[in-house]
Structure 1
Amino acid sequence: MAPIVTGISPNQGAPEGNTGVTITGSGFTGATLVRFGSTPTNFVLVSDTQITARTPPGSGTVMVTVTAPTGTSTQNVLFTYTTVAAPVLTTLSPASGPTSGGTVVTLSGINLAGVLSVKFGVNSATMLSNTASQVVVVAPAGVLSSVAVTVTTVGGTSNALVYTYVAAAVPVISGLSPSSGPVSGGNLVTVTGSNLSGVLSVKFGVNSATVLSNTASQVVVVAPAGSPSSVAVTVTTVGGTSNALVYTYVAAAVPVISGLSPSSGPVSGGNLVTVTGSNLSGVLSVKFGVNSATVLSNTASQVVVVAPAGSPSSVAVTVTTVGGTSNALVYTYVAAAVPVISGLSPSSGPVQGGNLVTVTGSNLSGAISVKFGNNPATVLSNTATQVVVTAPAGPPSATTVTVTTAGGTSNPLPYFYVAAPTVNDLSAHFGPATGGNTVAVFGSNLTLASAVSFGGNPATAVLVISDSQLTATAPAGAGTVVVTVTTPGGTSTAATGNPYYTYLAAPVLSSLTPSHGPDLGGDAIVLGGSNLTYTDAVTFGGVSASFAAVSDTQVVATSPGGAPGTVNVVAHTPAGDSNVLPYVYDPS
């Protein structure tokens, strides 16, 4: 089988050639020729899967092929000749570091994209990141000297900047905090001093600690286990090993437990139990029988845990620390009673949900879920006799509410989702400012009306006639207001129909012109006054007259016939009757 070429790195280089490349693939054993386009080049067969070579001079994009006794590769692996500017270095930060290497060094400059290598003298650095203006590397180890740092890209090798390897100072430790701890280890110890950067190890006697953080003046470690004794703590860096400070391992006292609160709980677990006693610091486990509890807090005299699940029985509770396992106290698992619900308040609500519902009953502690049909409600508070929830959304219909605890699922109670009411018309859109008149309200979903409001003022004597009609006594008010109806489904809005109601001041008559006329009637009489715009009747001695409201201050009426003498003239509007003015019928 002919060689197979799968890749070349880098895949571009300078037209003058001499770019070092690595060709990867398979079947390279016995290779006799490497060509860039039609131009052969010198190469080194590294393995059956790798060849290194120097590019010949060229231009454009060419295919790279490998020829062996078995044939020539045909894969479309390409190399592009491109003019790339040589990299230029301007700064190193820092420009010195320890002979052990490991220092992060930032190289700044121009034309740095596509770095192939960064050399500290003859040693390659490990590259962490690379942009056109910056390369971040980890300095390799070196000897006490200054070396040239260079960057190589496909554009060539940069100018050199000087990096100096310096000897690291011997670490010095001046403090341990704390300077003692349990034989089990595991406690944090802060080692302070100088020249502590780049810690290689921290030893407690012959045992290594786990390093958590490290600065030039501090090392934080996890102490290893030890035996009851004093040991030497030392810090080792590339600068050597520090002086020793004494750390003392102390034997922990056996824990003693004296109380459980509560000493019983449901088989489902999940309840908090406080274990009191002495020597309880550094708890490793709290067991309820063979089951581990979850530790929430721990002091020398108290452990607060979440009880695990169990079966109806009594079990031994024990606490284990590095000092051993405590005496046992008895904890009793009791079967949870099935929850019973006896009331919902309210028992209906809007289809969009979001309203608070209080569920009352017994055995409600530890509610796992409250369902409205199949939809879970959000539990806000929970006691043995009450659960307060936020109702989920639901379609306009009846559903059932249930409560589930570790004891099972309760009996259901009905809950009704109610569509929001609408108001689309009123029997009267005008009325007296003093209120007191009856207004019929027309709309939909009115059956469960609990309140009617005229611009925020509650109406009285609300009487539901049907799902589409009710009556109410208007309260006092002023101006034009929106009439709304409230049900468990919510409160209506002014979005549909004509729910507007206007309060009117009572009509007032101040003059009649003329104030007398023939008993045969037929004269035009001008009624002067105020609040006359909505006049709907004019009477002369109780007899209706034809009229026309000219303005808010004037109505023109045609006098009806009447017996000679004086009669009362009254104007009527939706706000009521006006005061009376006398009109005299003259005998004909």
Structure 2
Amino acid sequence: MAVPTITGLSPSSGTTAGGNPVVITGTNFHTPAVTSVTFDGNSAVFTINSDSRITATAPTHAAGSATVTVTVTNASGSATTRYSYGSGLTLSPTQGPTGGGTIVDIYGTDLAGANAVLFGSTAARSFTQLSATHLRAVSPVGGGGVHAVVAAGGSTSSPGYFYYLPAPFASRISPTAGPLAGGTAVTITGVNLFTTNAVAFGGVPATSFAVVSDSQVTAVSPAGAVAGTVQVKVTTAGGVTVGLSFSYDNPPTVSGLSPVSGSAGGGDTVTISGTNLAHTETVAFGGIPARFGVINSNTVAAVTPPAP
């Protein structure tokens, strides 16, 4: 059994009204399972999403700004970090695409009777009053970092912060093909990929994916329904990439070689006939890799290596 650790909070601050979700990242949240999450000693409702992620709901706090201790506890021990309460707005999520359309939950105090929600100087596309401390708004078109405010009862709230993320672009996927059974590890290269939250092959979620950097994401292809080419889409907080494709192949078959024998020293050109050979990645003779070239989906030419 292991003591939990905390590596981050998102967001790391919120209003004294509480009620906003806080994502806690770390380790050992399942081993053993976390039994409590507290903010300044006040118990929070929480869900263990994985061994490295918990989503907790910030409890209310006395009026006035304060930085408090967040404690995560399991049977082996506790981990702590800091969270700030203030009078400004808490937004969730705090970022979205420049084209707008992000559904944003806004938490704060004295929000009853709201008559406008502004992202910078631009009004939200729409908003809904859920309670005196909770609004839900749809972000407008924008760019960069802006302050979000709520106008209610003739006054304007203290601001929250919202950041418009640039749209992602994916320029390359490698390899471009794999077996119908899935399991191919691919690397996707582009820009603005750091906030990737999903990768899909033909609409089917990747078996797994990992963000390597702002310019690279790795993913494992899921099983395909039928052989053929599908679109690969990477979804980030800034939007969805377009233009990448991946081919699912049936297993290759070999029906013949010509010639069927050659020099022990190698160097003979051999024509290999079969099916589903268009995306051939390796050719080997007795386990020894050979130089080869794909002629078409039914033919590959290879140069024999020296015999063992």
TM-score past 0.5 threshold: yes
1:448-485, Cα deviation, whole Å (9 max, x unpaired):
11112222222243222222222111222242222222
Letter paired with 1:544: P
- How many Å separate the matches in 1 of 2:171 and 2:240? 13
The alpha carbon displacement at 1:523 in A equals: 4.6
Which residue matches 2:103? Answer: 356
| Of 461, 472, 477, the match for 2:219 | 472
The alpha carbon displacement at 1:516 in A equals: 4.5
1:521-549, Cα deviation, whole Å (9 max, x unpaired):
45554433211123243211122334444
* Percent pairwise identity: 40
- How many Å separate the matches in 2 of 1:375 and 1:558? 66
| Contact 1:526–1:554 (8 Å) recurs in 2 | yes
| Of 491, 512, 519, the match for 2:240 | 491
Structure 2 gaps, min length 5: 1-85
Which residue matches 1:510? Answer: 255
Letter paired with 1:384: A
Label 1:538 to 1:405 Cα distance change in 2 as closer, same or farther (>3 A).
Answer: same
1:529-585, Cα deviation, whole Å (9 max, x unpaired):
21112324321112233444444233343433325xxxxxxxxxxxxxxxxxxxxxx
| Of 393, 418, 421, the match for 2:168 | 421
- How many Å separate the matches in 2 of 1:503 and 1:366? 55
| Contact 2:117–2:150 (8 Å) recurs in 1 | yes
Label 1:524 to 1:405 Cα distance change in 2 as closer, same or farther (>3 A).
Answer: closer
1:132-155, Cα deviation, whole Å (9 max, x unpaired):
xxxxxxxxxxxxxxxxxxxxxxxx
- How many Å separate the matches in 2 of 1:488 and 1:547? 42
Label 1:375 to 1:432 Cα distance change in 2 as closer, same or farther (>3 A).
Answer: same
Which residue matches 1:552? Answer: 297
Aligned-residue RMSD, C-alpha: 2.6
- How many Å separate the matches in 1 of 2:269 and 2:141? 65
1:3-44, Cα deviation, whole Å (9 max, x unpaired):
xxxxxxxxxxxxxxxxxxxxxxxxxxxxxxxxxxxxxxxxxx
Label 1:414 to 1:545 Cα distance change in 2 as closer, same or farther (>3 A).
Answer: same
Larger of the two Rg values belongs to structure: 1
The alpha carbon displacement at 1:380 in A equals: 3.1
| Contact 1:341–1:359 (8 Å) recurs in 2 | no
The alpha carbon displacement at 1:353 in A equals: 1.5
- How many Å separate the matches in 2 of 1:418 and 1:548? 43
Which residue matches 2:141? Answer: 393
1:396-447, Cα deviation, whole Å (9 max, x unpaired):
x111212222273222221111111111212322222222122111122111
**2:169 equivalent to 1:450:** no
Structure 1 gaps, min length 5: 1-338, 564-588
- How many Å separate the matches in 1 of 2:238 and 2:291? 48
**2:246 equivalent to 1:501:** yes
TM-score, length-normalised on structure 1?
A: 0.35
- How many Å separate the matches in 1 of 2:266 and 2:169? 49
Label 1:413 to 1:508 Cα distance change in 2 as closer, same or farther (>3 A).
Answer: same
| Contact 2:89–2:157 (8 Å) recurs in 1 | no
Q: How does 1:159-170 map to 2 (within 5 A)?
A: none
Which residue matches 1:199? Answer: none
| Contact 1:379–1:387 (8 Å) recurs in 2 | no
| Of 127, 137, 145, the match for 1:380 | 127
